[in-house]
Amino acid sequence: MRMLDLIAKKRDNKELSKNEIEFIIKSYTNEEVPDYQMSAFLMSVYFNGMTDQESTDLALAMMHSGDVFDLSLIDGIKVDKHSTGGVGDKVTLVLGPLVASCGAKFAKMSGRGLGHTGGTLDKLESIPGYNIVLDEQSFIKQVNEIGVAVIGQSKNITPADKKMYALRDVTGTVRSIPLIASSIMSKKLASGADAICLDVKVGNGAFMSDIEEAKKLAELMVNIGKLAGRKVKAILTNMDEPLGFSVGNSLEVIEAIETLKGNGPKDLETVVLEVGSYLIEDAGIATKDAAMTLLKEKLDNGEAFNKLIELVSAQGGDISFIKDVSKFKKASRIIPLIADKEGFIESMTTIDIGLAAAYLGAGRETVDGQIDPAVGIVFKKKIGDRVMVGDVILEIHANDKGIEDAFNTLKEAIHIGSKKNDVTLIEGVIV
């Protein structure tokens, strides 16, 4: 087989076989295929697309390019979730302990934030002592014992995806639905869960701003998962404003703790319950409706919160911070953004809210940049809320970095007008 012929085949819009796709991925991972040939291949996929079978074969070939987690030593059905990335998205922090408190096995490998989106690992590391590095044995033992573990990726997972993503980034081939779907699903499949719920964000703070595109991506990921023998469902959730009221690492942990005590923001709780009820159903614990009731019960009776304490304790974190959130280090300054006219919050440019948080130090500009856990933004008003002149719309929690840039960006990102808009949070479900 020659890479040249396979590029030409895809250029001519013909379907590649499983063998051919495996050859491409193996040869590229082993450095037998150079970047310029892979770039040409990716561009032909970008223009001609792939069938669902090709996308599945691509995801599986990428999954097998590196280590694959074997979670068979964990009793029962292992569940996982994935978000395509948003602003203020702290769903994992609430969902993991919550579904574990219902008896599910939540075995999760999370990532760090980059660009305008935050990362679960950065949020967890704002809890002093929380260790994101567990070897495979300890990870399995912890999930067996307490039902939940959230760690970083320690193994060499999907090296083909790492190389391809870096290449796509510089060749204009990121925005291809088969390439995005196979990239995400290769990592999810390698992480070993039996049942996965995908939270595909759609809106001006998400990777996909168009609902039809987001739907196509969700459908393809669900199909790939099913063809690979896993239970996969997807929900499409709105990202035209941040999720919850807080953006920033320890601020989001505090909001997640409040949610686990049953006092969280409605939108965050809704997404958590929707994803959670699918996972509980797929874990065989209850029907979707009964799962909803069970999850709410665990939020109200303190068991979900207690499970967070168990999780943090098992991973070396200081649980006194979870019990008393006033212990989290605060930013040195709180600067309000005040409404200068009367009306409703009509819309927000959510991507810029994520960027403003990053300017303050809540996110990083380069992969190894430093995070300031205390900084971020706390909203007092969201879309549809009425504001009067002088009302506080949000508070900027800042230390010494990026205050002016963040303030100016946020001022432009919040739009006050005469329309009282509603946000439809759950925009679709693919099962």
Site for ligand URA in 327-356 (CB under 6 A): none
Cα 426 to Cα 219, 289, 316: the distances in Å are 16, 16, 35
**Toward ligand URA, which CB reaches closer, 43 or 180?**
180
Give the binding range for ligand URA (CB under 6 A) out of 47-55, 136-144, 177-185, 326-334. Answer: 177-185
User: At its nearest, how many Å lie between ligand URA and the CB of residue 178?
Assistant: 10
Residue in 377, 378, 351 with CA at minimum distance from that of residue 362: 377
User: At its nearest, how many Å lie between ligand URA and the CB of residue 180?
Assistant: 4
Residue number with the shortest CB distance to ligand URA?
Answer: 183
SS3 readout for 133-173: CCCHHHHHHHHHHHCEEEEECCCCCCHHHHHHHHHHHCCCC
Q: Residues binding ligand URA: what is the number (CB under 6 A)?
A: 6
User: At its nearest, how many Å lie between ligand URA and the CB of residue 9?
Assistant: 23
CA dihedral of residues 30, 34, 38, 41 (deg, nearest 10):
-120
Q: From residue 109 to residue 148, what is the string marking binding to ligand URA with x (rule CB under 6 A)?
A: ----------------------------------------
- Taking CB atoms within 8 Å and a gap of at least 24, the contacts of 291-298 are 291/102, 294/102, 295/98, 295/99, 295/102, 298/98, 298/101, 298/102
User: At its nearest, how many Å lie between ligand URA and the CB of residue 204?
Assistant: 17
Told to check if 183 binds ligand URA by CB under 6 A, we report yes
Gap between the Cα atoms of 242 and 383, Å rounded: 10
**Toward ligand URA, which CB reaches closer, 206 or 275?**
206
User: At its nearest, how many Å lie between ligand URA and the CB of residue 175?
Assistant: 9
For 138: left if phi > 0, alpha if psi spans -120 to 50, otherwise beta; the answer is: alpha
**Toward ligand URA, which CB reaches closer, 82 or 123?**
82
User: At its nearest, how many Å lie between ligand URA and the CB of residue 147?
Assistant: 26
**Toward ligand URA, which CB reaches closer, 132 or 179?**
179
Instruction: Concatenate the DSSP letters of all residues of 94-109 into one string.
Output: HHHHHHHHTT-EEEEE
Told to check if 184 binds ligand URA by CB under 6 A, we report yes
**Toward ligand URA, which CB reaches closer, 183 or 277?**
183
Select from 146, 180, 214, 235 the one that contacts ligand URA (CB under 6 A): 180
**Toward ligand URA, which CB reaches closer, 102 or 221?**
221
Residue position matching structure tokens 């940049």: 369
- Residue 204 backbone phi and psi in degrees, to 5: -80, 0
Site for ligand URA in 190-249 (CB under 6 A): 207
Q: From residue 150 to residue 169, what is the string marking binding to ligand URA with x (rule CB under 6 A)?
A: ---------------x----
User: At its nearest, how many Å lie between ligand URA and the CB of residue 207?
Assistant: 6
Gap between the Cα atoms of 50 and 40, Å rounded: 15
Give catalytic residues, as residue numbers: 82, 161, 168, 183, 187
Told to check if 104 binds ligand URA by CB under 6 A, we report no
Residue in 163, 226, 179 with CA at minimum distance from that of residue 30: 163
Residue position matching structure tokens 């709105």: 238
CB burial string 2-29: b at 16+ within 10 A, e below? ebeebbebbeeeeebeeebbbbbbebbb
Gap between the Cα atoms of 24 and 33, Å rounded: 8
Give the binding range for ligand URA (CB under 6 A) out of 89-97, 178-186, 274-282, 358-366. Answer: 178-186
Name the token pair of 175. 């925005």
**Toward ligand URA, which CB reaches closer, 101 or 182?**
182
Binding site for ligand URA (CB under 6 A): 165, 179-180, 183-184, 207
